[in-house]
């Protein structure tokens, strides 16, 4: 399958119509999606849209994404279409409005072909928590594709679509990108509007693109970024032309690269460590300034995340009560019984575990001991990054401590699964941008992901560094 850039070029120079391209994509999805990637495919509408795009191409006023067919994680709203969040409780819920990110894509003439599978309410690292069944990793069908944007990662890896949108609260774009051998970026908190992204943990959630290479995600990132008055946490800063920036050669003296000396301890796979260190050595040999940094509070990140994210989730998910949204249990007696039965039968086990934990840490008597303390440690983690960025412009880490593992291997041990987010979670807690790119394979042929972390709103530097590594090594 062609990359996004090739798709756009082929439509622009008349080799293919957008309709042809879209119809080929739909056919591929219908015949090759044995991985359980797509939850819904918009056959009729996407062809109609493609024909409109073709008209605009003919009249010379097509948008910059004419020729882009894209899949979207089923937690991002599209008016008149179901948004299930991978949950039974929203199984038949139809979105009343469209997310800003999708509005921007469509305004640039991208065609949304359907919605991708995910862990329920974006809680998980393997896609096994989806009510609609697990997604299989196109690298090897016995493996997990990562999560929670596993469907969006697998769609690119299986070459069904060139690009997708995912969402990332603690690693959900970068970790599945690593497990499927593709590229994904979590933008700075506030860069992309969250309007129309169903909330999991509002202080951490961001929408971001996934694709075959750095240039393609840069193209999508530019379009979906920008201030939106409908999201009070969106930030009004200039959006660079991320893709254009990649066309000029990198200035080696303008990007100083730090790597985390204290993150290579226990639990990190030897082959991943070797591969990341080899890349760092090559960068050094190539003339980049490279040095070690320490993030002393890093080891608290997972504990802090599972207090803050769960606290926010318990509040955000209170709205699913059987009365206002989605699934309602029948014959449950009085109102309270209806609430209980609807939530009990509507949510899966992991979602319930998190609501219970989140409610606990916010309850009177425990608030100070857990929630407030976690907020304070979150600040210390942020300060660690701030110190590191005094000497360096980007930081390199592995994306995940292990390569993808077998379906079923960790599902009964939530803690083991949580530990897999050690490198991605601190980035969300600090609100920073993070990119994951492929970095070779293990001897067994499993993909390895390399993460590049940047300063707030400096996606440019991590994209440039990622592009350099992708093109040269």
Query: What is the contact surface with ligand GLN in residues (CB under 6 A)?
Result: 122-125, 148, 168-172, 200, 309, 421
Decide whether 137 or 421 has the Cβ nearer to ligand GLN. 421
Give least dist CB 310 to ligand GLN, A: 9
Decide whether 75 or 157 has the Cβ nearer to ligand GLN. 75
Decide whether 106 or 421 has the Cβ nearer to ligand GLN. 421
Distance CA 281, CA 206 (A): 32
Give the number of other Cβ atoms within 10 Å of residue 290's Cβ: 18
Catalytic residue among 5, 16, 73, 115: 73
Catalytic residue among 148, 149, 342, 461: 148
Distance CA 23, CA 13 (A): 18
Distance CA 24, CA 300 (A): 48
Decide whether 5 or 410 has the Cβ nearer to ligand GLN. 410
Known catalytic residue at 172: yes
Distance CA 126, CA 472 (A): 31
What are the residues facing 435 on neighbouring strands? Answer: 185, 452
Known catalytic residue at 3: no
Known catalytic residue at 73: yes
In the chain, what's the furthest Cα-to-Cα distance? 71
Give least dist CB 355 to ligand GLN, A: 13
Tokens 């394979």: give the residue. 441
Distance CA 162, CA 348 (A): 31
Distance CA 417, CA 198 (A): 23
Closest CA to 81 of 73, 89, 195: 73
Closest CA to 68 of 155, 5, 140: 5
Contact residues for 57 (Cβ-Cβ < 8 A; gap 6+): 11, 12, 17, 18, 66
Q: For 199, how many CA atoms within 13 A lie in the half-sphere containing its CB?
A: 18
Q: Which residue is nearest to ligand GLN (CB)?
A: 172
Give least dist CB 131 to ligand GLN, A: 16
Decide whether 87 or 172 has the Cβ nearer to ligand GLN. 172
Distance CA 428, CA 451 (A): 13
Catalytic residue among 46, 125, 172, 193: 172
Decide whether 191 or 464 has the Cβ nearer to ligand GLN. 191
Q: Where are the alpha helices (DSSP H) in 286-419?
A: 301-316, 335-346, 349-362, 373-391, 414-419
Active-site positions? 73, 148, 172
């Amino acid at each position: 399958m062609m990359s996004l850039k090739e798709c756009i070029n082929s439509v622009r120079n008349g080799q293919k119509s957008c309709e042809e391209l879209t119809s080929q994509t739909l056919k591929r999805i219908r015949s090759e999606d044995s991985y359980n990637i797509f939850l819904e495919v918009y056959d009729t509408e996407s062809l109609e849209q493609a024909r409109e795009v073709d008209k605009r191409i003919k009249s010379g006023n097509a948008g910059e994404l004419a020729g882009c067919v894209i899949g979207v994680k089923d937690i991002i709203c599209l008016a008149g279409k179901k948004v299930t969040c991978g949950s039974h409780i929203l199984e038949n819920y139809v979105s009343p409005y469209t997310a800003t990110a999708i509005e921007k894509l469509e305004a640039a003439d991208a065609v949304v072909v359907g919605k991708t599978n995910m862990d329920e309410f974006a809680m998980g690292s393997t896609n096994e928590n989806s009510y609609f069944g697990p997604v299989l990793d196109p690298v090897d069908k016995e493996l997990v594709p990562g999560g929670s944007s596993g469907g969006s990662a697998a769609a690119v890896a299986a070459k069904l679509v060139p690009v997708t949108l995912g969402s990332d609260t603690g690693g959900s774009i970068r970790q599945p990108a690593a497990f499927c051998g593709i590229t994904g970026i979590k933008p700075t908190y506030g860069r992309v509007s969250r309007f129309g992204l169903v909330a999991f943990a509002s202080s951490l959630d961001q929408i971001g693109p996934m694709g075959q290479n750095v240039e393609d995600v840069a193209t999508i990132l530019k379009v979906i970024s920008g201030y939106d008055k409908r999201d009070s946490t969106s930030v009004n800063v200039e959006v660079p032309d991320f893709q254009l920036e990649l066309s000029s050669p990198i200035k080696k003296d303008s990007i100083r690269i730090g790597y985390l000396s204290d993150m290579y301890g226990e639990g990190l796979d030897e082959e991943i460590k070797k591969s990341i260190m080899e890349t760092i050595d090559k960068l050094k040999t190539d003339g980049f300034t490279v040095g070690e940094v320490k993030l002393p509070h890093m080891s608290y990140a997972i504990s802090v995340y599972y207090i803050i994210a769960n606290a926010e989730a318990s509040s955000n998910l209170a709205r699913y009560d059987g009365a206002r949204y989605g699934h309602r249990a029948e014959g449950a007696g009085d109102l309270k019984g209806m609430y209980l039965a609807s939530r009990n039968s509507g949510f899966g086990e992991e979602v319930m575990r998190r609501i219970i934990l989140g409610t606990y840490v916010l309850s009177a008597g425990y608030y100070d001991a857990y929630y407030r303390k976690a907020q304070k440690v979150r600040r210390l983690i942020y300060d660690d990054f701030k110190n590191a960025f005094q000497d360096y412009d980007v930081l390199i880490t592995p994306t995940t401590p292990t390569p993808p593992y077998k379906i079923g291997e960790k599902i009964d041990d939530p803690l083991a699964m949580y530990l897999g987010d050690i490198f991605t979670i601190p980035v969300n807690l600090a609100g920073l941008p993070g990119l994951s790119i492929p970095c070779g394979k293990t001897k067994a042929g499993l993909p390895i992901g390399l993460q590049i972390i940047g300063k707030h709103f400096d996606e440019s530097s991590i994209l440039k560094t990622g592009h350099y590594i992708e093109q040269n090594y």
